[in-house]
Amino acid sequence: MSAGACMYIPQAVYHSTLNTGRETMRLIVVYSPAGSERQLRDIPGVKVLAPGESS
């Protein structure tokens, strides 16, 4: 993956994310239908931004 890339991950497919670069990774994720993303909020270091908020 590189900057600007997009990936589709089907439901119930195990996956993980690993930043192998030297810069901070910015990851934008869309869950559809919504709901399962709630589990991610409990992961240490996760930052949830409000709509229009920038990191």
| Per-residue pLDDT reduced to its tens digit, 14-32 | 888 888 889 888 888 888 8
Residue 36 has pLDDT above 80, yes or no: no
State both tokens at 8: 């589709």
Handedness of CA 30, 17, 49, 45 (dihedral sign): positive
- Check residue 47 and give its pLDDT: 81
Residue 54 has pLDDT above 80, yes or no: no
